[in-house]
Amino acid sequence: MRIAEHAGWDRAFPVRYLLVQEDEEGVEQLWGRCAGVEGLFVDPVPPPREVLTLRGCRPDGLLSDALAGPDVSLRSLGDLGLEVWDDEQAVQWWTLVDAVVVAHQPHPADPGRYDIVLGAGVRNDESFFEASEASHFELFGGTTVAAASAGRCSAVDGLFVPRADPAPVPLELIGCEAAEPLLVGTQQPRRWARSSAELLVLDRHGAVMASRTVGLAVDGARPSVLGDGLEDITLTDGGEDRPPRAVRPVWAAWYQGPPTEPNLWAPYDAQGRAEWLELTTRAWRLPAPRPDRSGGEHHLDGRFITDVAGLHCAVAEALLGPGRYFGREWNAFKDCLGGGFGVAPPFTLIWHDFEVARCALADVVEDPLGRLSYFEEIFQLLERRGVTVVLR
């Protein structure tokens, strides 16, 4: 489907969104185009609070610190990652949202371990097997980039219980010109066999700046508040990956078109910078990436690298220019250095004001052995891949 053919219409307001779905042959088909959407930015609803008991736990890191301090029951641990292990590897991942220590006592079989009662929301991130196969449980605290061990347990009471799926949050398509078969669905609300579609978000030039998966259950349709023969359509499920409200300014900046100046990401906080990186993942494919270039010098402006997201924003700009993609975290960055993203080693990277990143990321440790900061990991990865890094 050619986006440009559907990105404009003869009305006083622009097309801002396209609703498309792939057919059985993988060809995108237009289902509708709209002037606006209400409900695109939604803060995630926290899961209900539950009580869990960590059995036979050897606390580490922040959990150990919490148990050692006074007023244990008042200490929030933030979000805890929980890995379920079989005899060889982690095979299930959970998040304990806003975990709080409620109580603790020595484990009956081993006074050196504890039974710890936690209050938390419980979210299952990924599962590959039944709970009966678990051999132990690993706990992690901190961010996903800088997760650190928080302990190991032999069992977690209350984890493997049925939970209702969260209620879907609707999405309103405003000023929508529906196409077949969506038009049929709005006249008689129904769910199609393939129950999801892609909502393409257009910038002011009519180019795709982002996309989100939405459900195709139509809850209702009515003449649009914009008139002109259009409809306002309510989708029962607006999808799970909608951006939070705090990043609206980032989307507003990208609506003006892909950035053409460096460091426009710098004024945002870590969440805003992460969303900036999210938007570059679509932008790097449009147009198709150019053949890889090697050799020469690239200058990295290090003045604003105060977090992981900022590092990857700055590196992508140094290598490819504003608004381009070159990885969002260590593994993706490693993949990009392998080629296929516009630049490939060998080349020289002159890192100006490197001390800003080295100091800001000194306590950000993703290395499983805890030996290297994130700055050191990125530096060593660059050199291993054939990049000559000059620190200034």
How far is Cα 294 from Cα 308, in angstroms, rounded to an integer? 25
Q: Work out the pLDDT band at 316, boundaries 50, 70, 90.
A: very high
For residue 290, the model assigns a pLDDT of 66
Mean pLDDT of all residues in 82-106: 90
Looking up residue 193, the CATH number of its domain turns out to be 2.30.110
Residue 132 burial by CB count (10 A; 0-12/13-18/19+): exposed, middle or buried?
exposed
Looking up residue 305, the CATH number of its domain turns out to be 3.30.370.10
Residue 179 scores a pLDDT above 90: no
How far is Cα 101 from Cα 111, in angstroms, rounded to an integer? 19
- Point out the least confidently predicted range of 69-73, 103-107, 172-176, 275-279: 69-73
In 225-342, beta strands by DSSP E: 231-235, 297-301
Q: Work out the pLDDT band at 133, boundaries 50, 70, 90.
A: low
238 and 271 assigned to the same domain: no
320 and 254 assigned to the same domain: yes
Work out whether strand 347-352 and strand 387-391 pair parallel, antiparallel, or are unpaired. Answer: parallel
Digit-coded pLDDT (tens) for 18-70: 999 887 777 888 999 999 999 999 998 889 999 999 999 999 988 988 888 77
Q: Write down which residue in 242, 260, 284 finishes a domain.
A: 242
Digit-coded pLDDT (tens) for 268-287: 999 999 999 999 987 655 45
Angle at 108 (CA atoms; ends 103, 109), nearest 5 degrees: 135
Domain that holds residue 372: 247-391
For residue 61, the model assigns a pLDDT of 85
Give the sign of the dihedral formed by CA 97, CA 103, CA 106, CA 112.
positive
3-state class (DSSP) for residue 132: helix
The total number of structural domains in the chain stands at 3
For residue 188, the model assigns a pLDDT of 62
129 and 66 assigned to the same domain: yes
Contact 389, 337 (CB under 8 A): no
Residue 72 scores a pLDDT above 90: no
Q: Beta-carbon neighbour count of residue 371 at 10 Å?
A: 9
310 and 196 assigned to the same domain: no
For residue 88, the model assigns a pLDDT of 81
Name the average pLDDT for the chain: 88
Q: Write down which residue in 183, 218, 242 finishes a domain.
A: 242
53 and 38 assigned to the same domain: no
CA dihedral 203, 208, 212, 213 (to 10 degrees): 140
For residue 305, the model assigns a pLDDT of 97
Residue 313 scores a pLDDT above 70: yes
Digit-coded pLDDT (tens) for 211-234: 999 988 888 889 999 999 999 999
User: Which of 143, 87, 162, 138 is CA-nearest to residue 361?
Assistant: 143
For residue 141, the model assigns a pLDDT of 85
Half-sphere exposure (Cβ direction) of 55: Cα atoms closer than 13 Å? 10
Q: Write down which residue in 222, 242, 262 finishes a domain.
A: 242
202 has which bridge partners?
A: 208
C-alpha distances out from residue 357 to 131, 304, 386, Å: 42, 8, 21
Angle at 164 (CA atoms; ends 158, 165), nearest 5 degrees: 120
231 and 278 assigned to the same domain: no
Residue ranges of alpha helices (H) inside 21-141 are 61-68
Q: Work out the pLDDT band at 73, boundaries 50, 70, 90.
A: low
256 and 331 assigned to the same domain: yes
Residue 127 scores a pLDDT above 80: no
221 and 252 assigned to the same domain: no
- Point out the least confidently predicted range of 7-16, 43-52, 140-149, 150-159: 140-149
Residue 24, Cα to own-chain centre: how many angstroms? 28
For residue 261, the model assigns a pLDDT of 95
Dig out the tokens for 108 from the structure: 């009956």
For residue 111, the model assigns a pLDDT of 86
Mean pLDDT of all residues in 151-165: 92
197 and 54 assigned to the same domain: no
Residue 257 scores a pLDDT above 70: yes
How far is Cα 82 from Cα 150, in angstroms, rounded to an integer? 9
Residue 126 scores a pLDDT above 90: no
62 and 82 assigned to the same domain: yes
Mutual angle of helices 374-384 and 330-337, in 10-degree steps: 20
Half-sphere exposure (Cβ direction) of 201: Cα atoms closer than 13 Å? 21
Residue 204 scores a pLDDT above 80: yes
236 and 254 assigned to the same domain: no
In the chain, beta strands by DSSP E: 17-22, 28-38, 49-59, 76-85, 90-107, 110-127, 136-141, 148-153, 155-157, 171-178, 196-202, 208-215, 218-223, 231-235, 297-301, 347-352, 387-391
Residue 189 scores a pLDDT above 90: no
256 and 385 assigned to the same domain: yes
Mean pLDDT of all residues in 279-296: 74
- Cis amide linkage into residue 181, ω under 30° from 0: yes
